[in-house]
Each structure stands twice: as C-alpha cells, then as structure tokens.
Structure 1
Amino acid sequence: MANAQIDGIKTTLEKLSGELGEMSQMAAHHFDELHDAVNNVASHTLAMEAIISAILANIEIDENAVSAWIRAKTAEFSSPEHGESAAEGIARDFLNKK
C-alpha cells in the first residue's frame, strides 16, 4: 500500500510540475506581449515628440497656458500641494527644447 501511495504522490507531483511549466510559459508569453505593447507605445510617443519638437521650432507657445491646461485636465487626479505634475515637466521640457 505504501508503494501505491508513493506512486500516487509521484503522479500528482509530475502533473503539478507540468501545470506549473505551462503556467510559466503562459506568463512568459503574456510578458512578451506586454513588452511589445509598451515598446509600441514608446515608439509612437517618440515619433509624436519629434513632430511636436519640429512644430515648436516655428511656433511661439505660452508655457503658462500649457501648464494651466494640464492642471485643468488633471485636477480630478492631482492635488496642488504636490507641485508640478510629470506632464507639466514634460511639456516644459518640450517648450524649452525648441
């Protein structure tokens, strides 16, 4: 009877090992998909930054108006005591890199 129990435990462990391997492969696949999606967004963002930078070289923009617009659009998600948001910092960098 002890051998039957050991065989049962061995079978269960082999099944569990196989299932864990499948889960690991699925997680790796999902990670790869996420990485591709983030890379795609980053590439699009960089392309838009390049276009905006080229446009800004020829147009005068009011930095205060840009900050006010960002604060109005993000007021629901931010608080004034936290100071400048990341979006404001990025916009300021764009405007100063004309």
Structure 2
Amino acid sequence: MRVMALSEVTAGMLDLVGGKAAGLGELIRHGERVPEGFCVTTEAHRLGVVPQAEVVAAYQRLGGARWRCAPAPPPRTCRRPVSPGSRTPS
C-alpha cells in the first residue's frame, strides 16, 4: 500500500509517511479535529511512483474528487477547479 488514510497513521510510522502525516495522525489519535485525508508514502515519493489507482480510491473514500488532476504526475499538477469566466482558482 502506498496511500494511507491519515486516521491509520501513528507516530511510529514516521519513516513510512513523513513528519507531517505522522503528526496529523497523532493529532487525530488524541481527538483533535483534523480534516479527513490521506498521504502517499515516502517510499512512493523516493521511487517516483504515483499510485494513481490508490490516490483515486482515496479521493473517492473522501466523498469524491474535489480536485482535477492531470494524468501524470497528479501530486505536482493538481489544482483547484476554476470558476467559469474566471482565470483564478475558486
């Protein structure tokens, strides 16, 4: 698995998910209000692998894709939807 829900992440997974995701996972475990989300593992980043099917599935579990992503590589090309008649993201 190269994509993990933040609610499944613990501080002991620092090497697997990185500091930000580990910190968010711990905040969730301590009952803090953190928006639902997911992270791509550090291994996937190191390998330059974008687990597209896993990312799409993670977005769907969050209630659907709220972001439009180009096919390759999504982490660097995601952007907010643009409002009709506007040149800036909504």
Higher CA-based Rg = 1
Return the TM-score normalized by structure 2.
0.24
Return the TM-score normalized by structure 1.
0.22
Which one has a larger percent strand, Structure 1 or Structure 2? 2
Which one has a larger percent helix, Structure 1 or Structure 2? 1
